[in-house]
A and B are shown apart, each in its own frame.
Chain A
Amino acid sequence: VPAYSQGSALGGVNPDLASERQTPSFSVEKLTALLDGGEENTRIRRAVVEAIESDPVFSRENQYFQSQNEKYEAAVRKAVHLQKKMHEMGWTENGPEFKYIYRALSGEVAFLLHTVFMRSISVLGSDKQITKWIPLATQYQLIGSYAQTELGHGTYLQGLETTAVFDIATQEFILNTPKISAMKWWPGDMGRSATHAVVFAQLDIQGKCYGVHPFIVQIRSLWDHSLCPGITAGDIGPKMNFDHIDNGYLMLQNVRVPRENMLSKFCEVQPDGTYVRRGSQQINYFTMTALRVALISHEAVIPLMKACTIAIRYSVVRRQSKLKPGEEEAKILDFQTQQEKLLPHVAAAYAFHFINNYLEDLFNRGYEEIQRENFDMLPELHAFSSGFKAMVTQYCASAVEACLRACGGHGYSLLSGLPSLCTRILASCIYEGENTILFLQTARFLIKCFMAASAGHPVPPSVTYLAAVKPGKCPAKNKFDFLSPDTYTEAYQHAAVRLISSTAAKLQDLIQSGVKKHDAWNECTVQLVQAVKAHCHYITVKNFAETVERLETKGGIQRIMKHLCDLFALHGIFSNAGVFLHDGYISGAQMDMVTASYLDLLAVIRKDAVPLVDAFDFTDKTLNSALGSYDGQVYQRLYEWAQKSPTNTQMNPAYERYLKPLLHKKLSKL
């Protein structure tokens, strides 16, 4: 082993990276505190990360070399150890530390569905059911999963085919998987771990179907973990990522559960078979929408921040080609094309961080209202959660991939950390509601509000702008005018209103010309999706601009955030030029000004690129990337890590069996 690759003494911080940190235009520490929501939060987060990362049980060191079985085992081991750790550290589920644990583990832990199992019982179960099941689950006397999706059915719940027939004689429900497409498919923790599952099935009482209901079903023995009678269950096989999770299948054949196992806060089947519905299900609705908001930060924004950190740091260490003859090869971040690939995504990471804060505030307020039995905000909350979940996950997924590709060949190595970020974030575009379907749910809300606003009826605050349709032209006179938040926010507002109103008009026309409502809707869906994206984009830009306005001017924070806000907004106009040019709101000459300002900004932000990703404050262990470490010793680390690959540490099995006979002319014996 050569001297330069021994141990962790890799020779301090790479000078190319150190020079980037010498003269930041702002205080990195202050920006980190802003992202965390205060210095105290930063302190707590760092303490949690430190406690987790210093514990060898939670190590992710060999993650890139592990098989599916090994990853699953590690995730179970970590989940079990976490219980002990939390107890040791005095962390509780309601404490301030809790939300940082998942981040510190990078989500690579088992039993996430166990939490969903518990939450569904808390929300959908009667008090009696909660008293019985929640303590058992809390103490891990059983392990739960949540079995909703079927092989043939996903987002559209009414289409589920699993049946639960009530048998009055025995006071039991008989659960069945009537055909192959009805098999439960995908639920996490179900393939190998879970002993129980909340199973969603069509309730049938005396031949009448009452729709989909949740049932608690035991699937494995609590004693030896073998499958219960009538149950067929297993792992659904390898996926693009989530190797550590045993997503499972479940087939039920005449499985009987007592009447008390139907979760019955809102509906109950009485002993004589009478079906009773009570209370409002709207609170349950709220839980689903809150879940969508909760995933934005962990599963989309944080992964994007990590990918940006890796790609930006690598781009100042990597030198390639010459910018000027006779000079040293240039840092690739000095190429305009590389800046254009990466810096807008750094800006987007900040934009989405702030929109996520906005959504969290909105949901906290919504929750208080709902506690007071006021459900007025629900439609707006639902529209927000659907639209932004879809927009942010979609943007972040392609941005993470762009970061991967911006790292050239080395990005393709698992050791860069980028492939696993990429394959994991892709799943977020589908789970908790497929993105296209979610966009269309928001579209329904927007069209409804647009109609109401046009007729002069009141509409929720976030969409009042729809009523203020005023035709006009962008007033910008030169490229500097496009650095005014009012100018670009209005342009976004104009585009959103135009797309929503023109689609609404088309929908009306179609219906008036005799096309059936649902056909007319399907014919407008492509444009509706575009309109919703414009709406969400507008809100994101507006919120970013308003956030910048409120920031303190000390420490240079406001100035750099203003640059990022401008970049985010202008990038959107630059890449969707047609939307803004379409009705002449922005002229061709103005579009040239947008481009000029946009390209100018790249050069400005370039200087702060590394401090801007340093502020995300990820430890090397969290990033787990040979390209993105803080010290920038990229090549030494790649070489060191590659040598740990089992392909190098174990014997080459193909040599004796195939290569040797090949090289020694014994092909016929193969």
Chain B
Amino acid sequence: MMNADLRRERAAATFQPELLTHILDGGADRTRRRKELEALVINDPDFQHEDLNFLSRSQRYEQAIRKSSLMVMKLREYGIADPEEIYWFKSFVHRGRPEPLDLHLGMFLPTLLTQATPEQQDRFFMPAWNLEIIGTYAQTEMGHGTHLRGLETTATYDPATQEFILNSPTVTSIKWWPGGLGKTSNHAIVLAQLYTQGQCKGLHAFIVPIRQLGTHEPLPGITVGDIGPKFGYDEMDNGYLKMDNFRIPRENMLMKYAQVEPDGTYVKPLSDKLTYGTMVFIRSLIVGDSARSLSRACTIAIRYSAVRHQSELKPGEPEPQILDYQTQQYKLFPLLATAYAFHFVGAYIKDTYRRISGDINEGDLSELPELHALTAGLKAFTSWAANAGIEECRMACGGHGYSRCSGIPDIYVTFTPSCTYEGENTVMMLQTARFLVKSYTQVSSGQRVTGMVSYLNDLSRQRIQPQHVAARTVTVRLNDPVSLVEAYKARAAWFVEAAAKNLEAELHRRSKEDAWNKTSVDLVQASEAHCHYVIVKLFTAKLAEISNAAVRAVLTELCLLYALYGISKNTGDFLQAGILTDAQITQVKQRVKELLAVIRPNAVALVDSFDFHDIHLGSVLGRYDGNVYENMFEWAKKSPLNKTEVHESFHKHLKPMQAKL
């Protein structure tokens, strides 16, 4: 039986959710295939287990390992080989959560493929493919993260024995955080400073066995373990690794590019831009992940807001659905629009990467710097926004959002590290800023720039005119997404120019590095404005591709809401840059509230379109059938504190006290 409120909501929708699902998946056939894979997992008794919320960390790790082992076997049994299909299958098996083999599958194997010599591939790849070798990727150290050159682990070449001697010379150099390192892996690709013939040659990768094959005991000279509990990631054994004069053969350095010859002669690699490719790829995955995690939280919060009734809107009438309150719509619908925006941005980056990866393999790297700069910024922008958005969704569910049965706490703790890993967000924003400032400098010196920054070309033309860019009036039509893209473009240009000029002014006073640091708050703002513009632009561009009129209509409303809400939250920028007037700002705010009411009837259908299976969603509040309260009660009864009617604390503590007092 479906909850009556949700049934009414679904009947009132103005479009067919399946059509929108097809757009999100990239075609009806992709949706069909996704659902096939989902059914394979959901109907498989091997992948069933107790609610993870009631398990200890150790039990969760064990379940994850169990499922991972089966997953690898079944992927091969079913012949699933397409990377996207593997990603889906894995995410259904693990319900969107991390698992201990992530690093083996996602980093160890790919690194072997791209950086190992043919001889090394023969030696390591098949055993690793068959899971006799389970590996991880040990880069981050306790004292060193995003700034790779600061890593302290050393690998010193000994020509006498033709071995590398690996050492963790200080406590800060202990490898810390790599997933699967603590308890699962028997090998690791270790990044270390290479020393040969008395000279440091910088960071290189080494294949290091860490546990004895057979007994799984740590090898002599290796100290390895789990780094303890975290905010989330319970099923992952993030680990530490300390090496004391640990020797590996010369052939264990990954030598496809750089090499150390038997006598210790170092041979330099040809180009180091190639590593960009992998980073772009992984950061593009995070953009997609931001969209999916926020979509899950929105699905839960919006369905629950349609089921939950509270207080009075009109005296004497029954308590209304909380989704009818303007404040609730204002909390949730901009996030819903954001989730859609990020979906399209994620798809765009993935397509662009796919398009140019052919060029990369043929050595054409011309488009890579811009894509690299763009994905760094978008990774930061979307993960920050999704992180805050998930939390807002949780708060929008009131007290029950705080219970783990809502599923949102889990989404949050799983997602939030993406603000830090694969490049800390502030650092990412500053990388994008470097590219923006560089482009601005090119334009100033008369060169033209292309791609997403081409709007900077217009700045040079204005400079001929006496007035400052801010004085330029843009005619903004508030109901036209294309016109709003122009407003965001003007804001980005304004910020980039302001940051570049401030940097210029600082450069007269101090060193390059100090000037950069003294301008970095401005630079981050410029990057944010640039990313915001790109997102509004990509969302708007997507609308033209949609053939179904009803779907296009509802997505246009969401796109308008996304763009106008962004303006209303950053009115200072648009006012100060002279892009919008006070009167227009008032209209923007009014229009945002009108759009809330327009979107309201389609809210549930819009989250249904994300098409999360209940098992994948993992939320009592967000169930498709809306039977929230009955199932909360059923769920709570399974809590470990309820295992016995009278808790042992009663006999140990309460009763003796009562007797004494």
A and B held together in a complex: yes
Using a CB–CB distance below 8 Å, which chain A residues touch chain B?
2, 4-5, 64-65, 67-69, 72-73, 76-77, 80, 83, 139-141, 143, 149, 151-156, 158-159, 180-181, 183, 185-186, 191-193, 222, 224-227, 234-240, 246, 249, 318-325, 329, 334-338, 340-341, 401, 404-405, 408-415, 419, 422-423, 426-427, 429-431, 434-437, 440, 516, 518-519, 522-523, 525-527, 529, 576-584, 588, 591, 599, 635-636, 638-639, 641-648, 650, 652-655, 657-665, 667, 670
> Looking at chain B's contact residues, is the secondary structure mostly helix, strand, loop, or mixed?
helix
> Looking at chain A's contact residues, is the secondary structure mostly helix, strand, loop, or mixed?
helix
Is B309 on the interface with A (CB-CB < 8 A)?
yes
Evaluate contact between B310 and A191: CB separation under 8 angstroms.
no
Complex: how many Å from CA A652 to CA B661?
Answer: 45
Q: Name the interface residues of B6-47: CB closer than 8 Å to any CB of A.
A: none
Complex: how many Å from CA A408 to CA B150?
Answer: 16
Using a CB–CB distance below 8 Å, which chain B residues touch chain A?
53-54, 56-58, 61-62, 65-66, 69-70, 73, 130-132, 134, 140, 142-147, 150, 171-172, 174, 176-177, 182-184, 186, 213-214, 216, 223, 225-233, 237, 240, 242, 308-315, 319, 325-327, 330-331, 391, 394-395, 398-399, 401-405, 409, 413, 416-417, 419-421, 424, 426-427, 430, 470, 511, 513-514, 517-521, 524, 570-578, 582, 585, 589, 593, 629-630, 632-633, 635-642, 645-650, 652-658, 661
Evaluate contact between B404 and A320: CB separation under 8 angstroms.
no
Evaluate contact between A155 and B521: CB separation under 8 angstroms.
no
Q: Which residue of A lies closest to B580 (CB)?
A: A578
Complex: how many Å from CA A662 to CA B134?
Answer: 10
Evaluate contact between A430 and B398: CB separation under 8 angstroms.
yes
Complex: how many Å from CA A180 to CA B140?
Answer: 50
Evaluate contact between A153 and B310: CB separation under 8 angstroms.
yes
Evaluate contact between B228 and A641: CB separation under 8 angstroms.
yes
Looking at A335, A423, A661, A663, which has the most chain B CB atoms within 10 Å of its CB? Answer: A663
Nearest 9 A-B pairs (CB), nearest first? A577-B572, A578-B571, A235-B641, A647-B226, A419-B231, A578-B572, A645-B228, A237-B639, A156-B311
Query: Which residues of chain A are within 8 angstroms of B405 by Cβ–Cβ distance?
Result: 237
Evaluate contact between B228 and A588: CB separation under 8 angstroms.
no
- Checking A155, A224, A435 against B310 with a beta-carbon cut-off of 8 angstroms, the contacting residue is A155
Evaluate contact between A65 and B228: CB separation under 8 angstroms.
yes
Complex: how many Å from CA A460 to CA B630?
Answer: 47
- Checking B213, B519, B578, B646 against A226 with a beta-carbon cut-off of 8 angstroms, the contacting residue is B646
Q: Given A65-B229, A523-B326, A653–B514 Cβ distance below 8 Å?
A: no
Complex: how many Å from CA A423 to CA B229?
Answer: 15
Q: Given A73-B652, A584-B582, A642-B240, A140–B658 Cβ distance below 8 Å?
A: yes
Query: Which residues of chain B are within 8 angstroms of A185 by Cβ–Cβ distance?
Result: 632
Complex: how many Å from CA A667 to CA B77?
Answer: 12
Evaluate contact between A643 and B225: CB separation under 8 angstroms.
yes
Evaluate contact between A659 and B216: CB separation under 8 angstroms.
yes
Query: Which residues of chain B are within 8 angstroms of A225 by Cβ–Cβ distance?
Result: 646, 650, 654-655
Complex: how many Å from CA A576 to CA B571?
Answer: 8
Complex: how many Å from CA A155 to CA B327?
Answer: 15
Query: Which residues of chain B are within 8 angstroms of A156 by Cβ–Cβ distance?
Result: 310-312, 319
Evaluate contact between B571 and A579: CB separation under 8 angstroms.
yes
Q: Given A318-B143, A323-B513, A191–B228 Cβ distance below 8 Å?
A: no
- Checking B229, B575, B648 against A581 with a beta-carbon cut-off of 8 angstroms, the contacting residue is B575
Query: Which residues of chain A are within 8 angstroms of B582 by Cβ–Cβ distance?
Result: 582-584
Evaluate contact between A663 and B216: CB separation under 8 angstroms.
yes
Query: Which residues of chain B are within 8 angstroms of A662 by Cβ–Cβ distance?
Result: 69, 131, 134
Q: Which residue of B lies closest to A401 (CB)?
A: B391
Taking the closest CB of chain B, its distance from the CB of A426, in whole angstroms, is 7
- Checking B57, B186, B398, B517 against A434 with a beta-carbon cut-off of 8 angstroms, the contacting residue is B398
- Checking A5, A409, A584, A670 against B171 with a beta-carbon cut-off of 8 angstroms, the contacting residue is A5
Query: Which residues of chain A are within 8 angstroms of B641 by Cβ–Cβ distance?
Result: 68-69, 72, 191-192, 234-235, 237, 246
Q: Which residue of B lies closest to A663 (CB)?
A: B132
Q: Which residue of B lies closest to A394 (CB)?
A: B395
Evaluate contact between B661 and A321: CB separation under 8 angstroms.
no
- Checking B62, B140, B311, B576 against A588 with a beta-carbon cut-off of 8 angstroms, the contacting residue is B576
Query: Which residues of chain A are within 8 angstroms of B312 by Cβ–Cβ distance?
Result: 156, 158, 518
Q: Given A409-B421, A662-B131, A581–B398 Cβ distance below 8 Å?
A: no
Evaluate contact between A518 and B661: CB separation under 8 angstroms.
no
Q: Given A235-B639, A667-B73, A77–B653 Cβ distance below 8 Å?
A: yes
Evaluate contact between A635 and B517: CB separation under 8 angstroms.
no
Evaluate contact between B409 and A240: CB separation under 8 angstroms.
yes
Query: Which residues of chain A are within 8 angstroms of B404 by Cβ–Cβ distance?
Result: 237-240
Complex: how many Å from CA A90 to CA B629?
Answer: 47
- Checking A83, A412, A643, A663 against B657 with a beta-carbon cut-off of 8 angstroms, the contacting residue is A83
Q: Given A149-B399, A426-B402, A662-B131, A648–B630 Cβ distance below 8 Å?
A: no
Taking the closest CB of chain A, its distance from the CB of B601, in whole angstroms, is 17
Evaluate contact between A412 and B578: CB separation under 8 angstroms.
no
- Checking A140, A154, A523, A588 against B470 with a beta-carbon cut-off of 8 angstroms, the contacting residue is A588
- Checking A64, A234, A409, A664 against B417 with a beta-carbon cut-off of 8 angstroms, the contacting residue is A409
Complex: how many Å from CA A190 to CA B140?
Answer: 45
Complex: how many Å from CA A65 to CA B230?
Answer: 10
Evaluate contact between B593 and A591: CB separation under 8 angstroms.
no
Inter-chain residue pair count (beta carbon < 8 A): 373
Taking the closest CB of chain A, its distance from the CB of B301, in whole angstroms, is 14
Evaluate contact between A409 and B177: CB separation under 8 angstroms.
yes
Evaluate contact between A180 and B56: CB separation under 8 angstroms.
no
Evaluate contact between A234 and B228: CB separation under 8 angstroms.
no
Taking the closest CB of chain A, its distance from the CB of B408, in whole angstroms, is 9
Evaluate contact between B326 and A522: CB separation under 8 angstroms.
yes
Evaluate contact between A642 and B227: CB separation under 8 angstroms.
yes
Query: Which residues of chain A are within 8 angstroms of B426 by Cβ–Cβ distance?
Result: 337-338, 341
Complex: how many Å from CA A249 to CA B403?
Answer: 13
Q: Given A335-B517, A427-B402, A518-B315, A655–B145 Cβ distance below 8 Å?
A: no
Query: Which residues of chain B are within 8 angstroms of A4 by Cβ–Cβ distance?
Result: 171
Complex: how many Å from CA A302 to CA B238?
Answer: 31
Complex: how many Å from CA A410 to CA B174?
Answer: 13
Complex: how many Å from CA A591 to CA B578?
Answer: 13
Evaluate contact between A523 and B593: CB separation under 8 angstroms.
yes
Question: What 11 additional pairs, Cβ within 8 angstroms, besides A434-B398, A525-B327, A639-B240?
Answer: A151-B633, A320-B145, A337-B521, A401-B391, A409-B420, A426-B402, A599-B518, A599-B521, A635-B171, A653-B58, A659-B184
Looking at B61, B172, B652, which has the most chain A CB atoms within 10 Å of its CB? Answer: B172
Taking the closest CB of chain B, its distance from the CB of A615, in whole angstroms, is 26
Evaluate contact between B642 and A647: CB separation under 8 angstroms.
no
Complex: how many Å from CA A318 to CA B311?
Answer: 49
In the assembled complex, 21 residue pairs joining A and B whose CB atoms fall closer than 8 Å, in A order, are A73-B647, A76-B653, A155-B398, A180-B633, A225-B646, A422-B231, A527-B589, A578-B572, A579-B571, A582-B575, A584-B582, A599-B518, A639-B171, A641-B228, A646-B58, A648-B225, A654-B184, A658-B65, A658-B69, A661-B69, A663-B186
Complex: how many Å from CA A2 to CA B640?
Answer: 39
Q: Given A518-B315, A658-B65, A249–B633 Cβ distance below 8 Å?
A: yes
Complex: how many Å from CA A153 to CA B582?
Answer: 41
Q: Given A68-B640, A238-B404, A336–B518 Cβ distance below 8 Å?
A: yes
Complex: how many Å from CA A193 to CA B641?
Answer: 11
- Checking B186, B308, B430, B636 against A236 with a beta-carbon cut-off of 8 angstroms, the contacting residue is B636
Taking the closest CB of chain A, its distance from the CB of B490, in whole angstroms, is 14
Query: Which residues of chain A are within 8 angstroms of B640 by Cβ–Cβ distance?
Result: 67-69
Looking at B230, B571, B585, B646, which has the most chain A CB atoms within 10 Å of its CB? Answer: B230
Evaluate contact between B517 and A412: CB separation under 8 angstroms.
no
Evaluate contact between A237 and B646: CB separation under 8 angstroms.
no
Q: Which residue of B lies closest to A577 (CB)?
A: B572
Query: Which residues of chain B are within 8 angstroms of A583 by Cβ–Cβ distance?
Result: 582
Query: Which residues of chain A are within 8 angstroms of B227 by Cβ–Cβ distance?
Result: 413, 638, 642, 645
Taking the closest CB of chain A, its distance from the CB of B120, in whole angstroms, is 21
Evaluate contact between A648 and B637: CB separation under 8 angstroms.
no
Complex: how many Å from CA A579 to CA B327?
Answer: 19
Complex: how many Å from CA A589 to CA B555?
Answer: 38
Complex: how many Å from CA A246 to CA B142?
Answer: 36
